[in-house]
Structure 1
Amino acid sequence: MMSKLEKKYVTKAKFMLHGGDYNPDQWLDRPDILADDIKLMKLSHTNTFSVGIFAWSALEPEEGVYQFDWLDDVFDRIHSIGGRVILATPSGARPAWLSQTYPEVLRVNTSRVKQLHGGRHNHCLTSKVYREKTRHINRLLAERYGGHPALLMWHISNEYGGECHCDLCQNAFREWLRMKYDNSLKALNNAWWTPFWSHTFNDWSQIESPSPIGENGLHGLNLDWRRFVTDQTISFYENEIIPLKELTPDIPITTNFMADTPDLIPYQGLDYSKFAKHVDVISWDAYPVWHNDWESTADLAMKVGFINDLYRSLKQQPFLLMECTPSAVNWHNVNKAKRPGMNLLSSMQMIAHGSDSILYFQFRKSRGSSEKLHGAIVDHDNSPKNRVFQEVAKVGETLEQLAEVVGTKRPSEAAILYDWENDWALQDAQGFAKATKRYPQTLQQHYRTFWEQDIPVDVITKEHDFSAYKLLIVPMLYVISEETISRLKKFTANGGTLVMTYISGIVNEHDLTYTGGWHPDLQTIFGIETLETDTLHPKDRNAVSYRNQTYEMKDYATVIELKAATAEGVYQDDFYAHTPAVTSHQYEQGKAYFIGARLEDQFHRDFYLSLIKELSLSPVFPVKHGKGVSVQARQDQHNDYIFIMNFTEQQQLVSFDKRVKDIVTGEMLSGDLILEKYEVRIVLNSH
């Protein structure tokens, strides 16, 4: 069995990957530019390039007419400088001839309007023609480049997302439902509660995907549709990789996941916890809105830490940062440039939280179309002398010193549970307050104290092994199945500490409410009954007294009746004044806490600091520092690799007792250390 600290290499490369999306297909009439690219790759200290992502029209300009010579040349040029290629399959954007010849590949929107050719991510996932065409071009790529020494990894399509509502997809959805409900319309009608508004189905053909011009009020239908979209996308992906697994079984396969800005919440279009089981390596595209005017750099860095810890935890191994920008993007509301030093700092944060790569979009700026102003390593000036290029080169030089970090882990004793299906159903729920549900942001609030205290946390999904943790935090788990309740009960009974909050345990996996009060097993675990949830207006405030302190609360308050629990905190106002707001309960060998209200950050700090002490949770490498400094660690069986990062605009004093080595400079350090604005130091602590 692999040790928790044994290295896990996600590719054959034993070095940090540095590079990004490379689009030579846009410059085939400029051999001088292609020659410059190789020189600039070396000067920028880049070594890995994602090629072919949107190159189908360059590979197959006419149906059955293939042009691979240019890609042969790209492979050979990159190999000549010791570089690696992440080869993409081109399904993310198809050539015009394919749409014209086979119109079934065009997507149909929710209003049942067929889309024209254009944009990207605009194909029907069900179309047999499109599946055949993608599988065929992928086979040709695998046959031609599978044995090339530069090939490092397969990059399947690009940022899968979106959905199609054509007749092919409607029929596929109905077949999916037949399988799910054992061909029983009665079971489906029961699960969707279709007697409401007289929407009972008596023939499978009556069922349509959710639509603004049709049905969108059956929450069970909406939830099943989103599950189907995930499954259909995975099915499309599995179709793509058939020839790759056959011809290149030793080459790892990934596809790039996303996050939704500005809060960097998990991408809502697909359930990545399901998708993760089908990829060899998690990779994702990170575009934080650095230097914005509504939060501190440190607050945003905390959110970056959260999403990294989620994507790392999906497979409990290092991940790859597949895309980021070295400076500005072109699609935020305001496309502000990264300040000097921020590219190195933000890159090292990715490494600290588990990435084995820093890859950018894009290597060279496009000359035209929608992304011509998106940041890149090489700007339109084609010069290695500008600030952005020089900062990229510095990142590359730093990564070259971090080869021993590749494959290392981030073991954690605390976990926060995030669930995509819960997120979907809670957004869809016609209750509470639409603007203040903020489920992912609530998880970030619970994560904050651990990030501030430099204590590693896994952000897990409901399929994970709960027993691996001392502490499990489950905020706002509106959707909870009998199976998950049973596993939470076992976790607590066996000695785990469980934290749950308001708006939890309301519905089952079909989005049907539990009846007869809060679920009996939840009552047993927590020693309480939840009587009702009060939803407050945005300006409404109440307060909770907790351990001789008073904390402001807003948005939501659970009215609680004690059964066997102890009231740790009580409401101060309203009709539930002096009733429990925060409770604790010893359940067999473990302890269960219920937080009934949405409370201010200081409450969470005080609450979790108490649990951290009680459970003996601690940083890997203790460092004394002020607010805005983050200390994160990666570990192997012999070493701790400590990233000390200043996410403030001021100098910061940090101090530590042990004598450690700066990995980049070789300097020995101990005692006090001054970090400049946006500075990062990486030190080695040997066991």
Structure 2
Amino acid sequence: MPQFSDATRGRILFGGDYNPEQWPEETWHEDVRLMKDAGVNSVTLGVFSWAKLEPEPGAREFDWLDTLMDLMHDNGIGVVLATPTSSPPPWMGRLHPDTLPRDADGHIEWWGGRQHFSHSSATYRHYAAAITEDLAARYAGHPALTMWHINNEYCTFDHGDEAAAAFRRWLREKYGTLDGLNTAWGTAFWSQGYDSWDGILPPRRAHYLNNPTQVLDFRRFTSDMLLECYVAERDIVRRHTPRLPVTTNFMSLWIGQDAWRWAEEEDVVSVDIYPDPRDPLGAQHGALVQDMTRSQARGPWMLMEQAAGPVNWRGVNHPKPRGVNRLWSLQAVARGADAVCYFQWRQSRQGAEKFHSGMVSHAGERGRTFQEVKQLGAELARIGREVAGNHTANEIAILHDWHSWWAGAQDGRPSTEVDHPAVVHAWHRALWDAHLTTDFAHPEHDLTAYKLVVVPQLYALTDAAIENLLAYVRGGGTLVCGFLTGVADEDDRVRPGGMDARLRELFGIRTLHEWWPLDAGESVECDGFRGSLWSEEIEADGSDDETIRYKGGELDGLPAVLRKGRAWYVSTLPEPDELRGLLGRMAAEAGVRPVLDRLPAGVEAVRRGDLLFLLNHGREAVTVEVPGTHRDLLTDTTVTDELSLGRYGAAVLKP
């Protein structure tokens, strides 16, 4: 199988999406000059070029792309060639309305934007395969080609007739019989029993709540259909270029794809990360996504897109303060990225994203954005040989599963205030603040390499996942689970007792009497901390080794946190400092230590191989204790025992 290292070859890929079709040809040569000045060694071509490549059905206009491929090669810049299938030309929707997706109300999503394709449309798939085949045949032997990028940010939901027919086929393969489907979906409720496959539809607009398992299966189906589209194009390009790696870019912690399954089909796992520069937890968001992507890749990964400055899709789009682009890029490298790329190279003058920044902004080469990009390119070239390909094993895993997220995000649940990504962020933040680096894992993965496994929330768990957690604890691992874990099975069927009996025994819970969700801004008092968002009326079975109790209110004196041996259960969301302290204590007892013992506030320390990355996320200079003698690869200076980091400063230390 092709490997990412074949494309990186001891360097960090640096560049971004290049959309030269938006510019006259004379600009292309100016772009190449600036790319070389900035240290760009990789560009992605063709992401949104379908109408340019195929201006009418069956036509092929490759001359302009030939010129660009040659231009890149002549200047030592590799090309990640994209299939253009995320944005079909207007003629396709006009001539073939079956290619257009419909929303849950039956409204057509028309051309004029992007991602306007039905993943289930045979016509769309035919045209996508044809353009991919011709691209691969034409450029398979081109020396500029280093990697394939399939489509872009797969994110289409479709409730139309084409999707309905495909959904029925998917369900027949999954369940075999209508009896099996009716049992899994619990259709005895509300007289929903199906007597014919033809009666089954996607979860379209209903008078009241949709069947939850129908919605859950539709999420699974959508992920699978999009994956089919990816695999079909991947297999075409692999046939022509079997030694080149293939990728497609995930969006950060996006609900629509089972990224664990998708990652298995990619040679390179890549992601787009766009933290808000004004968000005080923007760096932690980046760290979470980086940890998750590295874990999906099981090694180095690709930062396919980030913004060099402001984006265009928030209510207020703030630029990045001086130094933040460099800092967040180095953070990605610290957490495993072997490619640092942007959307896009040159900021567009027209179109929906003309206010989305580029590596070359509207200010041009004299602008601050390009000057910072140029500095970063030089630094990545300086450290690339020492960094690329390195990987560090972590001793803590956070468990995450898209199917559990889908099941727990239904309507008709105890609290709409409980947002799964926000809960995952809260627990990851606690570990990040404690300077404890983490992997992510699926609940059915082998967990034996980890000393501490953290489950912020897994509402739905398969029997295999539960047995895996039990085996992990029996094997000597420390497990800590948050609230609303193990409530339902894979069909979103509530388990007897409101939590799986095996987990209740593991945590020392006799009875979970009631869930007590909290209103926004409401909190509960516990021994030593306050909790928010959620609480539970729990009766312990007396086997617990340690209990933290609620104080006051309806739950006064009842367990808030239970410990039985190496298994912990936390029935509320402790405030950030308290959760950090609690998880820090658990990690210490499990034998996990921070990367460095003493760090100033706002400083992040990450090890990658034998390198120590220090990242100052604060606006003030700080001094960091680093016992011993090191070489800072960014400045090529010797550091002994302590290091000064300026505002948004960074260092990469080699012992």
Select which of 361, 383, 386 maps to 1:379: 361
Cα drift, residue 280 of structure 1:
1.0
Cα drift, residue 78 of structure 1:
0.8
8 Å CA contact 1:567, 1:581 repeated in 2: no
Measured against aligned partners, the alpha-carbon deviations of 1:97-128 in whole angstroms (never above 9, x if no partner) come to 22222221111221123333221101011111
Structure 1 stretch displaced more, 281-290 or 299-308: 299-308
8 Å CA contact 1:325, 1:360 repeated in 2: yes
What are the ranges of 5 or more consecutive residues in structure 2 without an aligned counterpart? none
Residue 561 of structure 1 aligns to a residue in which SS? strand
- In the alignment, is residue 624 of structure 1 matched against residue 588 of structure 2? no
8 Å CA contact 2:487, 2:498 repeated in 1: no
Select which of 258, 262, 273 maps to 1:271: 258
Residue 256 of structure 2 aligns to a residue in which SS? coil
Partner of 1:25 in structure 2?
21
Select which of 321, 328, 351 maps to 2:303: 321
Partner of 1:441 in structure 2?
422
Cα drift, residue 213 of structure 1:
4.1
8 Å CA contact 2:394, 2:439 repeated in 1: yes
- In the alignment, is residue 656 of structure 1 matched against residue 623 of structure 2? no
Partner of 1:3 in structure 2?
none
Q: How does 1:432-471 map to 2 (within 5 A)?
A: 432-434=414-416, 436-471=417-452
Partner of 2:268 in structure 1?
281
Structure 2 vs 1, CA of residues 365 and 300 (structure 1 numbering), >3 Å: closer, same or farther?
A: closer
Q: 2:224 is matched by which residue type in structure 1?
A: D
Q: 1:480 is matched by which residue type in structure 2?
A: L
Q: How does 1:256-267 map to 2 (within 5 A)?
A: 256-259=249-252, 266-267=253-254
8 Å CA contact 1:480, 1:508 repeated in 2: yes
- In the alignment, is residue 222 of structure 1 matched against residue 201 of structure 2? no
Select which of 31, 36, 42 maps to 1:37: 31
Residue 443 of structure 2 aligns to a residue in which SS? coil
For residues 216 and 210 of structure 1, what CA distance do their matches in structure 2 show? 10
For residues 214 and 142 of structure 1, what CA distance do their matches in structure 2 show? 48
Cα drift, residue 380 of structure 1:
3.4
For residues 4 and 122 of structure 2, what CA distance do their matches in structure 1 show? 37
For residues 650 and 256 of structure 1, what CA distance do their matches in structure 2 show? 35
For residues 504 and 378 of structure 1, what CA distance do their matches in structure 2 show? 47
8 Å CA contact 1:216, 1:222 repeated in 2: no
Measured against aligned partners, the alpha-carbon deviations of 1:621-641 in whole angstroms (never above 9, x if no partner) come to x26321111011101xxxx11
Structure 2 vs 1, CA of residues 322 and 518 (structure 1 numbering), >3 Å: closer, same or farther?
A: closer
- In the alignment, is residue 506 of structure 1 matched against residue 487 of structure 2? yes
8 Å CA contact 1:567, 1:580 repeated in 2: no
Measured against aligned partners, the alpha-carbon deviations of 1:647-683 in whole angstroms (never above 9, x if no partner) come to 0111112111111001122211022322111111111
Cα drift, residue 130 of structure 1:
1.3
8 Å CA contact 1:282, 1:315 repeated in 2: yes
For residues 441 and 365 of structure 1, what CA distance do their matches in structure 2 show? 32
Select which of 585, 598, 608 maps to 1:634: 608
8 Å CA contact 2:209, 2:411 repeated in 1: no
8 Å CA contact 1:416, 1:474 repeated in 2: yes
Structure 2 vs 1, CA of residues 127 and 659 (structure 1 numbering), >3 Å: closer, same or farther?
A: same
Partner of 2:121 in structure 1?
127
Partner of 2:534 in structure 1?
556
Q: How does 1:401-440 map to 2 (within 5 A)?
A: 401-403=382-384, 404-434=386-416, 436-440=417-421
8 Å CA contact 1:10, 1:407 repeated in 2: no
Select which of 381, 398, 402 maps to 1:400: 381
8 Å CA contact 2:391, 2:608 repeated in 1: yes
Partner of 1:342 in structure 2?
324
- In the alignment, is residue 9 of structure 1 matched against residue 2 of structure 2? no
Cα drift, residue 14 of structure 1:
2.3
8 Å CA contact 2:101, 2:158 repeated in 1: yes
Measured against aligned partners, the alpha-carbon deviations of 1:568-604 in whole angstroms (never above 9, x if no partner) come to 2111112321122111112xxxx10111222112221
8 Å CA contact 1:562, 1:580 repeated in 2: yes
Partner of 1:594 in structure 2?
569
8 Å CA contact 1:413, 1:617 repeated in 2: yes
Partner of 2:459 in structure 1?
478
For residues 520 and 35 of structure 2, what CA distance do their matches in structure 1 show? 52
8 Å CA contact 1:135, 1:241 repeated in 2: no
Select which of 636, 641, 645 maps to 1:666: 636
For residues 251 and 561 of structure 1, what CA distance do their matches in structure 2 show? 57
Residue 504 of structure 1 aligns to a residue in which SS? coil
- In the alignment, is residue 306 of structure 1 matched against residue 285 of structure 2? no
Q: 1:631 is matched by which residue type in structure 2?
A: A
**For this pair of structures, how many residues does the alignment match?**
650
- CA root-mean-square deviation: 1.6
Structure 2 vs 1, CA of residues 41 and 517 (structure 1 numbering), >3 Å: closer, same or farther?
A: closer
For residues 165 and 582 of structure 1, what CA distance do their matches in structure 2 show? 43
For residues 196 and 87 of structure 2, what CA distance do their matches in structure 1 show? 37
For residues 390 and 647 of structure 2, what CA distance do their matches in structure 1 show? 28
Residue 326 of structure 1 aligns to a residue in which SS? coil
Residue 533 of structure 2 aligns to a residue in which SS? strand
Q: 1:286 is matched by which residue type in structure 2?
A: I
For residues 25 and 500 of structure 2, what CA distance do their matches in structure 1 show? 68
For residues 116 and 445 of structure 1, what CA distance do their matches in structure 2 show? 38
- In the alignment, is residue 488 of structure 1 matched against residue 487 of structure 2? no
What are the ranges of 5 or more consecutive residues in structure 1 without an aligned counterpart? 1-6, 260-265
For residues 623 and 574 of structure 1, what CA distance do their matches in structure 2 show? 39
Residue 322 of structure 1 aligns to a residue in which SS? strand
For residues 433 and 602 of structure 1, what CA distance do their matches in structure 2 show? 24
For residues 71 and 118 of structure 2, what CA distance do their matches in structure 1 show? 36
Structure 1 stretch displaced more, 271-280 or 443-452: 443-452
Partner of 1:568 in structure 2?
547
Partner of 2:78 in structure 1?
84
Cα drift, residue 334 of structure 1:
1.1
Partner of 1:333 in structure 2?
315
Cα drift, residue 216 of structure 1:
4.5
For residues 25 and 457 of structure 2, what CA distance do their matches in structure 1 show? 56
Structure 1 stretch displaced more, 245-254 or 566-575: 566-575
Q: TM-score, normalised by structure 1?
A: 0.92
Partner of 1:538 in structure 2?
520
Structure 1 stretch displaced more, 530-539 or 302-311: 530-539
Select which of 319, 334, 352 maps to 1:370: 352
For residues 21 and 250 of structure 2, what CA distance do their matches in structure 1 show? 24
8 Å CA contact 1:8, 1:317 repeated in 2: no
8 Å CA contact 1:111, 1:211 repeated in 2: yes
For residues 4 and 35 of structure 2, what CA distance do their matches in structure 1 show? 28
For residues 357 and 503 of structure 1, what CA distance do their matches in structure 2 show? 37
Structure 2 vs 1, CA of residues 185 and 51 (structure 1 numbering), >3 Å: closer, same or farther?
A: same
Cα drift, residue 12 of structure 1:
4.7
8 Å CA contact 1:12, 1:152 repeated in 2: no
Structure 2 vs 1, CA of residues 54 and 673 (structure 1 numbering), >3 Å: closer, same or farther?
A: same
For residues 6 and 111 of structure 2, what CA distance do their matches in structure 1 show? 37
Q: 2:360 is matched by which residue type in structure 1?
A: V
